[in-house]
Structure 1
Amino acid sequence: MARSIDYGNLMHRAMRGLIQEVLTDVQKNGLPGPHHFFITFDTRHPDAQLAQWLRERYPSEMTVVMQHWYDGLEVTDDGFSITLNFGDAPEPLYIPYDAIQTFVDPSVEFGLRFETQDEEEDEDEEDNGDLAVAEVEPDDAKEPAKSGDGAVVSLDSFRK
């Protein structure tokens, strides 16, 4: 079998590294100016930690907003922990980078979307999904970028 460069996984690691770097800066210095984040993650990820009532309410994915109030942000090489307020009830969360599906900062029209491949597709290929970079319009600041919003670049167009 011919050896090939796995650009998809390399991009995933690089973009998750970018998220880690951004969160590390926020941990040290706080959120600058109007910056805030919408982070959607897979609640089924084996390393995700959240209260049972949140897991029941959001059985597959959850979007959290990191903006006005958050506490205890701790960034590691594998993920981050944070306490967020849910209806005046502070709840600690641990979100592994591998569980992140979207990371959006609408204040600067920046967003990343990590797409996963269906298992039905070529099972012989080791593939952790595709990465799409989305440009978020300012009017969409209340919701994270979804399919069809803004300009999206998919790595599929570069694959053989």
Structure 2
Amino acid sequence: MPRTIDYGNLMHRAMRSLIQEVLNDVEANGLPGEHHFFITFDTNHPEVKIADWLVDRYPGEMTVVMQHWYENLHVTDEGFSVTLNFGDAPEPLYIPYDAIKTFVDPSVEFGLRFETQEDELDEIDLDDDDDEEIVSIEVEEDDRKEADVVSLDSFRK
């Protein structure tokens, strides 16, 4: 089998590394200014650790917000743990980076979305190159409140 470069995996690792770096800074220094995060993750991921009642309430995926109240943020190379407040009930969570589907900081219109191959195949019609990997990465960051979307397709020849 010929050797190939797995761009999709490389981009996902780079994006997860960015999330880790941001969370490391928040762990050390707190959230600056108006920054806050909406993090959507797969509640069925085998390494996710959340209360059973949260899994029952959010089968499949859940979005958490880190903004005004959070504590015990601890960041590792594999994921992060944090205690969040659910209706005045503090709950500890552990979210591995591999379980994250989206990471958004709406204060600066920045967002990352991790798409699986099934998601991509639902959105596109592949022609003869059925084994070609297509990765869509949305990067939104602009002070004018307009979103810039960067697609890897624009760099293909």
Fold conserved between structures, TM > 0.5: yes
Cα distance 1:77–1:131, how it changes in 2: closer, same or farther (>3 A)? farther
Aligned equivalent of 2:150, options 145, 150, 153: 153
Which consecutive segments of 4 or more residues in structure 1 shift more than 4 A? Answer: 156-160
Aligned equivalent of 2:140, options 129, 135, 139: 135
Q: Residue in 2 aligned with 1:62?
A: 62
1:159 CA displacement? 7.4
1:153 CA displacement? 3.2
1:155 CA displacement? 3.8
Is 1:96 matched up with 2:96?
yes
1:135 CA displacement? 2.0
Q: Residue in 2 aligned with 1:146?
A: none
Using the size of structure 1 for normalisation, the TM-score is 0.81
Alpha-carbon distance in structure 2 between the residues aligned to 1:106 and 1:94: 23
Corresponding pairs, count? 149
Is 1:29 matched up with 2:29?
yes
Alpha-carbon distance in structure 1 between the residues aligned to 2:156 and 2:36: 33
Q: Residue in 1 aligned with 2:2?
A: 2
Alpha-carbon distance in structure 2 between the residues aligned to 1:42 and 1:18: 19
1:76 CA displacement? 0.3
Alpha-carbon distance in structure 2 between the residues aligned to 1:11 and 1:84: 29
SS of residue in 1 equivalent to 2:11: helix
Alpha-carbon distance in structure 1 between the residues aligned to 2:61 and 2:141: 20
Alpha-carbon distance in structure 2 between the residues aligned to 1:31 and 1:83: 15
Q: Residue in 2 aligned with 1:11?
A: 11
1:45 CA displacement? 0.3
Aligned-CA RMSD value: 2.8
SS of residue in 1 equivalent to 2:138: strand
Question: Are the counterparts in 2 of residues 50 and 92 from structure 1 also a CA contact under 8 Å?
Answer: yes
Alpha-carbon distance in structure 2 between the residues aligned to 1:45 and 1:15: 19
With 129-138 and 21-30 compared, the bigger mean Cα shift is at 129-138
1:21 CA displacement? 0.4
SS of residue in 2 equivalent to 1:5: coil
Alpha-carbon distance in structure 1 between the residues aligned to 2:82 and 2:96: 11
How many percent identity over aligned positions? 73
Structure 2 unpaired stretches of 5+: 122-129
